[in-house]
Amino acid sequence: MFKALYFDLDNTLIHRQRSIERYAEVFVEHFASSLNSASATSIAQIIKGVDNGGYLVANSGYSSIKQAVADKLHRQFHREIRVEKSALLAHWLKYFPSCSVAMAGANQLLTQLDQQEMHIGIISNGAQASRLATARALQGYHCVDQLLSSGEAGIKKPDPQIFQRAMTAAGLTAQQCCYVGDHPLNDIQGARSAGMTAIWLKGFHPWPAGLEDPEYSIASLDEIASIIFPTKCTESAVN
């Protein structure tokens, strides 16, 4: 019986592409008086191209996604909106986290886990401030007991130490913990290396050839309950 369920954030509890689409609407609203022809759809496409699902494109020349987004938007629209790149960066940092869109079923799952007195944690790569702001956009964030970012830990997934640090801080063992994520290496392999049971959320990254198959794979968060609470789900089906 698991005592804790840990989650990745982007493309697990938060749908990153839909969040970008919402941010693009805010961007157009704020700069509407200066933008001549750009739409929220075109802005979103530009951002998605450099965001790459939350992972910098290899050899992009940027040190972070936020810098890539600010630079791309500045190059594309600097003649129209006439603001410095630093202002576009500040706009992204201020508004993107609050534009976060929950993954389908995320808030309901957090509530269900909380009602079952499960320890709920988030382990996510990124700066602590941005991870907190993003997570707080979830309606079910009040159910979350713990959030550990790579920025706070000084260790990035897939290093098993970041998973171990989270478990140790909560007084848990790997056998008591399950981790849910979308990235085969950073999330699933990282959690498995730390001794956790891992659940792969399919649909965002292909499974690499040669990597041991995941013990569990799901297409939506709705499927998690049958893995975490198999006996209860069976009883409900019978009744």
Q: Which of 192, 148, 196 is nearest to 4 (CA)?
A: 196
Considering the domain architecture, whether residues 67 and 167 belong to the same structural domain is answered as: no
Q: 């700066």: which residue's tokens?
A: 127
Structural tokens at position 209: 């050839």
Considering the domain architecture, whether residues 109 and 218 belong to the same structural domain is answered as: yes
Considering the domain architecture, whether residues 163 and 183 belong to the same structural domain is answered as: yes
- How many C-beta atoms lie closer than 10 Å to residue 87's C-beta? 13
| ∠ Cα 139 143 144 (to 5°) | 100
Render pLDDT for 180-189 as a digit per residue (tens, 0 to 9).
Answer: 999 999 999 9
* pLDDT band at residue 232 using 50, 70 and 90 as cut-offs: low
Considering the domain architecture, whether residues 48 and 163 belong to the same structural domain is answered as: no
Choosing from 37, 68, 99, the residue where a domain stops is: 99
Choosing from 99, 114, 131, the residue where a domain stops is: 99
Per-residue DSSP letters for the chain?
Answer: --SEEEE-SBTTTB-HHHHHHHHHHHHHHHTTTT-SS--HHHHHHHHHHHHGGGSPPTT-S-SSHHHHHHHHHHHHHHHHH---HHHHHHHHHHHTGGG--BPTTHHHHHHHHHHTT-EEEEEESS-HHHHHHHHHTSGGGGG--EEEEHHHHT--TT-HHHHHHHHHHHT--GGGEEEEES-IIIIIIHHHHTT-EEEEE-SSSPPPTTSPPPSEEESSGGGHHHHHSHHHHHHHHH-
Considering the domain architecture, whether residues 184 and 115 belong to the same structural domain is answered as: yes
pLDDT exceeds 90 at position 20: yes
Considering the domain architecture, whether residues 8 and 26 belong to the same structural domain is answered as: no
Q: pLDDT at position 76, please?
A: 87
Answer with the residue of higher pLDDT: 92 or 234.
92
Considering the domain architecture, whether residues 230 and 117 belong to the same structural domain is answered as: yes
Considering the domain architecture, whether residues 149 and 220 belong to the same structural domain is answered as: yes
Considering the domain architecture, whether residues 123 and 219 belong to the same structural domain is answered as: yes
- How many C-beta atoms lie closer than 10 Å to residue 194's C-beta? 24
Considering the domain architecture, whether residues 95 and 184 belong to the same structural domain is answered as: no
Provide the domain limits for residue 108: 4-15+102-238
| Number of domains the chain contains | 2
Of 144-148, 201-205, 225-229, give the lowest mean pLDDT range: 225-229
The structure's pTM equals: 0.92
Considering the domain architecture, whether residues 26 and 11 belong to the same structural domain is answered as: no
Considering the domain architecture, whether residues 144 and 194 belong to the same structural domain is answered as: yes
pLDDT exceeds 90 at position 32: no
Q: pLDDT at position 33, please?
A: 76
Distance CA 65, CA 69 (A): 6
Choosing from 99, 127, 157, the residue where a domain stops is: 99
